[in-house]
Chain A
């Protein structure tokens, strides 16, 4: 089975992330750009499935030129090839516009399964997987923590409020995974050294036949109108132990519905 894994390059969550105060877009220069950690888990799932069932993994990203680094990480882990959708007109695309572009690229690929992270650590809309499935007319199985494939059917454990549900769907399908799905493997040295030799196809909007008016900040249905940096951490709540600190701490947590 051939699998496409969608990956996204995001600001490193270890760094301090910032927004531009003019249009509240992400300041990509402020932090190192890395492959989103959830996507390395998606790659791991895809590699495991192709090791079991045959086929190959294609890593797909939409992003600026530097996003090739994120693709190379997926190739080093074991993906066979990569597709990089890049076009200056794409900057500022929202989830609706992004899903249109990704759908156009995925229609060209002819894969049995599309794997995505459940949400990126930067945009966090968590909307793209379902939108993509809708555009492609495929089943959407989101927030998956475990997945197996038998013939033309996938069986997934989907995390729902208060528990999980077993879902079956015919292939092809779109699956979004959560952080429980798999521990990403370390790329081995052979994988790293061969990553550069693997094919990376670059696609522009013209290659995809997508109208530039439908994408980018101008073509998006949503835009950020206001924002604020996260307030600095406050000193916290201090309890002086007069013998009842344990009870006070418990009450504090109960009041905030932590316990």
Chain B
């Protein structure tokens, strides 16, 4: 059976399971549609939350984001701590009290606690911006994964994905989504772990990738640790050491914090804790969610580090048991003839890996090309181009002299540039010949690099799709419940019947899927940048307002609204200053480079400062305006104690 048929079968089976679950778990009431009837056991809810939270980016890209970063793998730990530490905040500062509140959406709490329709609508606005931003990336992820594994175009893949989400999300609402996500979690964690175990066994002899990360490097008989080996190889090739200290500790601190409070403020994550039966379950469910997330997040840095080491030793066979330059680089002939290396050409075809033999020596040399070398090579290429393009009858003496001069200048740079203790001229290097290593390849190519059977490759395809679909469904539910519950029932037609609201919820879900599909087909060019905005906004608007709503009886409408708006404006303006006003290219005030950032704070990290601004503004404004009325104080007191959560739902 060929790989394509195998992929089709495995993906087909998983899809059939998802649809089957959807039919079994149809939603019959708004409570089931919005919050799965508040009857999901905490362990299962934790698993569903794990699938909801781990997107295509976590599954496919994160290992590569850590492993291939020019700043080194350590600095990127911000993602690992940031995307897990937020669950501690959720479990202690938000989830139990919001579950006690016992309603269905985040804006609904904000509207009731701050006794204001305006506050509720501002929250709806923030929620929609955050969730729509996110969903674009997920729909794109579905399309890309389909196109890679099932030989359809990205657009066709997107339509298939949208149809599947439509089937179980519109039919099942939160109930269908939750039970589907449990199945999706199981698929994605198996798909992620199997290749990781094999790569860890082969590189470190450790069965557990978490131990492999701190284990010793097996091909050298365990005399050197895997991380020390990785540091040695990458620094020899001119890259920053993998475990190098961060160059901007302050920014790493703020970035980690922004991801943590941003995670705790993401509406599609918060609403997951509305589905458990009791307040105590909301606390433990956050713990279970983190257990299931940690199964992937503690493996990801091991996968990243080992895949990077594998990639480096593949291109420099000498690095396996000594110096990278002790043997010649991988030859083009070897790539063509060795069946163990056939993955290199497979992934070259997808353009995730690109290389060319620039100096024509039959070898593919991979290293971090110093800037001076790049410039000297460019000058030479330009001189050669000018000579080649000169008219046949023109006097070429000057042009030929220019080429000779450029060649001499380039050779001088090569003789002066040192790599691993020798000059590039001595090593026979002229330019880096591996021109592209995409982040995604660190996970996608793993099964083939480790020479695993075809069904593992098929499982990785199904896992990538499961990760993207489960997150998309969770986001779509957050959007549709904000529209049907907060806009239609909360503002436009408060007298709508239960049946009418359920229908409205399904229609807004269908509309949200159509919008997400359209955005996936026509992604705005700034899709990558807006993720910074989504986290920044969640950190600077929703998290502070929810926390103050629970922990303070004094913060009032005026404080909450001005606080949210201050956080919103401050954060988005700082991001726009570097990424362009409303992300329109060319309208940025400053170039987005570290030396231009205020106090070295990157736009990705600004959410932390935005949250501080929100807290201060809300507190000061509340102090100089009237205290909240008694019924709101009573509400705060009631959500602080678990007792009576069962009866709290007033619908």
**Bound together:** no
